[in-house]
Chains A and B, each alone.
Chain A
């Protein structure tokens, strides 16, 4: 039965957008934690740890996210972990995000001049104290805007999970489009919803960049 694309469908799309946002938040949390580890591995003065982090980053940034999604979707069951599309999506987006967060945060940490470390050392602070009281407060200021900027990429990239069958905004669009045969209108509405979410984040990132830059 073909029906008209109506108000109820827009509501369905908006409800599905919750899953887009939920997935992005999961990836932000999981990717954030793992990203801290990657950033740490990247800057500790121990070469094998640096290499491990570089290998991880190259592996993730050098392959398509879509491929990573399929590998986790088909691969995890092989090692005895039964996953649904949601779990596979959340895991692989976290792993993907970690590589980018790791690089952003490493850059932020290294943007703090080496003299700040030396000054801390000459005042008799331990490595941990130098990191937490001297370097991190300055690095955070640099990291905030690009981190929020990357969230835009993350939201947009959640759309790929539609292709492994996770019902988020894009997949919901496919479903509605199949039922109503009004693909143009459906996908334009889908695009508008993405735009509202992503544009707000982009603007926030820009404002933060300006604000924190001026304060430096």
Chain B
């Protein structure tokens, strides 16, 4: 092996990497928020007794879950302009990621609502709580606790998935690998460094989410 690994060159690009990390986190948070909003609507529609709501909702979930994110992204970014809808790369990325997350979010939320047993709601009402109070004090806490682990791992999955938007030119973390590569011709080092940066982010967020779970759901005394 005659190749001299030169990881130290990459230290010059700290600013770019930091900027990439920030954009990746922004994308992930926006995707999570919009995805859950879409997911909530879709979960409610999918569970509705009206076929006009439930059939399109299920169609959406199945279509998104059975096609690659990359193709969905290409349809939004390259396809929509032919319908006269020209989006910037950043906006196209947020839209495609949110539409994608909406389908997974709907499934997570549906599972969360189903996890709260009917008898819990009846118990709340029989104690004289109003419907809103029952939702606030009985359903919300239990449902949140039930879906929290799935949401936490979904956030990490989204963060890792956002790297595909580098292919349409969004300058998030993974895009910085291509940038550093183009400046230094150190392809292997650049991609290794950036890939390991994702590992650090993943481990940091997993630790943070475990801590939050402990602080909110475990440590908290029973009420």
Contacts and interface: CB of A to CB of B under 8 A. Distances in A.
Given A75-B192, A187-B74, A67 B68 contact: no
B195 A64 contact: yes
A63 B74 contact: no
Contacts of A62: 156, 160, 198-199, 202-203
B69 to A, nearest CB: 7
Interface size band for B: 35 or more
Contacts of B198: 62-64, 67
Interface size band for A: 35 or more
B191 interface: yes
Interface string A179-201: 00011100110110011001100
Interface stretch (B35-43, B44-52, B78-86, B141-149): B78-86
Interface string B187-208: 1100110111011001100000
Interface string A69-92: 011001100111000000000000
B74 A152 contact: no
Nearest to B82: A184
- Specify the main secondary structure of chain B where it touches its partner: helix
A188 B163 contact: no
A194 B71 contact: yes
Interface stretch (B8-16, B58-66, B131-139): B58-66
B71 A190 contact: yes
Given A64-B174, A67-B195, A68-B195, A194 B68 contact: yes
Contact of B192 (A71, A156, A194): A71
Given A78-B1, A184-B79, A195-B66, A170 B203 contact: no
A152 B196 CA distance: 26
Given A156-B69, A198-B67, A202-B65, A64 B161 contact: yes
Going nearest first, the 7 A-B pairs with the smallest beta carbon separation are A67-B195, A184-B79, A198-B66, A159-B68, A183-B78, A62-B202, A70-B191
30 contacts: A58-B203, A62-B203, A63-B195, A64-B163, A66-B163, A66-B174, A67-B163, A71-B188, A71-B191, A152-B66, A156-B67, A159-B68, A159-B69, A159-B70, A160-B164, A163-B164, A170-B70, A170-B74, A173-B74, A177-B74, A177-B78, A184-B79, A184-B82, A184-B83, A191-B67, A194-B66, A195-B63, A199-B62, A202-B62, A202-B66
Given A64-B163, A202-B62, 14 more contacts: A64-B160, A65-B160, A66-B174, A70-B187, A70-B195, A163-B70, A177-B74, A187-B74, A190-B71, A195-B63, A195-B66, A198-B67, A202-B65, A202-B66
